Amino acid sequence: MIFLEPLISVLSRPVFAEPSHLPVTWLGESTDGERLAEFAGRLCYMSQKNPAKRETREYLENIKKQGHGSVLEHANYSLLLEGVSRSLTHELVRHRAGFAYSQLSQRYVDESTANFVMPPAIIGDEALEKAWTRQVEEAQKAYVGLVEQLMTRYAWVPDKVHRRKMAREAARGVLPNSTETKIVVTANARAWRTMLELRSSEGAEFEIRRCAVAILRILKDEAPAFFSDFEIYQAGDRAEAAKIAYHKV
Ligand SMILES: Cc1cc2nc3c(=O)[nH]c(=O)nc-3n(C[C@H](O)[C@H](O)[C@H](O)COP(=O)(O)OP(=O)(O)OC[C@H]3O[C@@H](n4cnc5c(N)ncnc54)[C@H](O)[C@@H]3O)c2cc1C
């Protein structure tokens, strides 16, 4: 199977449990993640009575404007990314602060029927698509052949699981960067903002940029107040990009 776009599922979102002895005067629409951040912010000044009569999303707009990013760190969102390439995840896992990752292991999992992700720049050009598909198919054939030969070479290893691992970890060397992978990514809203700013920008690589824009749309829906200052637009290279209003250094 060849993926032409990522498949993104929300695995978890915050559940806010308001303590009965410190109730907040909530105003306006909000989600649990947003209320959690507002609660944390208000605790700093014990302003639960909401003297300025701010709606949650107004309050959080001000938090972003002032650069009080730590308040956003309380809200974590976990996403499952599928239909993304190993080259995308290689770039993604460089984002460390506030992130957690669990990714499919090519040492344990058999890749002889692996899927591939066509780079966006190739999609739509018949000749390029053909050339690319031929190469990934050849690579997969080479992988299958190598696993077989390595299993024979190490037939004397008594533990079959260990033997398979030895074969797969060596054979994966011929698989391309375009091999599909799956990864669970958890990050707090502040960390998501930093990563999305960098990877949805025009300077980012096309596949991760497309993924970042898709994540942005999902998270904007989950918690509009955390991501409302991102603007998605059509860039000069005819692909979508996004820019942020409140950049945090
Ligand atoms: C367009 C683009 C091109 C790139 N090209 C390359 C490339 O060619 N080669 C390459 O190697 N990388 C490249 N990168 C990756 C880049 O160098 C960063 O590793 C990546 O963007 C993650 O950024 P970060 O370290 O700020 O993120 P995070 O690790 O999430 O950190 C976020 C912030 O936390 C703070 N922080 C985190 N860790 C530390 C620490 N140990 N010490 C002090 N402060 C810390 C910093 O303020 C940092 O900005 C590229 C990134 C982009 C967006």
Q: Which of 199, 209, 210, 238 is catalytic?
A: 199
Note whether residue 101 is domain-resident. Answer: no
Q: Provide the mean pLDDT of the chain.
A: 97
Single pTM value for the model: 0.96
Q: Are residues 171 and 186 in the same domain?
A: no
Q: What is the pLDDT of residue 249?
A: 64
Q: What is the CATH classification number for the domain harbouring 71?
A: 3.30.1360.170
**Number of domain units in the chain:** 2
Q: Are residues 75 and 198 in the same domain?
A: yes
Note whether residue 42 is domain-resident. Answer: yes
25-82 confidence digits (pLDDT tens): 999 999 999 999 999 999 999 999 999 999 999 999 999 999 888 999 999 999 999 9
Q: What's the length of the chain? A: 249
Q: What is the pLDDT of residue 205?
A: 97
Q: Torsions phi, psi of 121, nearest 5?
A: -70, -15
168-193 confidence digits (pLDDT tens): 999 999 999 999 999 999 999 999 99
Runs of H (alpha helix) within the chain: 32-45, 56-66, 86-92, 126-153, 160-171, 189-199, 206-222, 224-227
Q: Is 54 a catalytic residue?
A: no
Q: What is the pLDDT of residue 86?
A: 98
Q: Are residues 30 and 146 in the same domain?
A: no
Boundary-marking domain end, from 160, 177, 194: 177
Boundary-marking domain end, from 156, 177, 198: 177
Bridge partners of 9? 80
Amino acid at 212: A
Bridge partners of 184? 80, 102
Domain assignment of residue 173, given as a range: 120-177
| DSSP letter (8 states) at residue 102 | E
Q: Any residues with Cβ below 6 Å from ligand 1, and which? A: 94-97, 194, 198-199, 203-204
Boundary-marking domain end, from 155, 177, 199: 177
Q: Are residues 186 and 75 in the same domain?
A: yes
| DSSP letter (8 states) at residue 158 | S
Q: What is the pLDDT of residue 248?
A: 78
How far is Cα 153 from Cα 151, in angstroms, rounded to an integer? 6
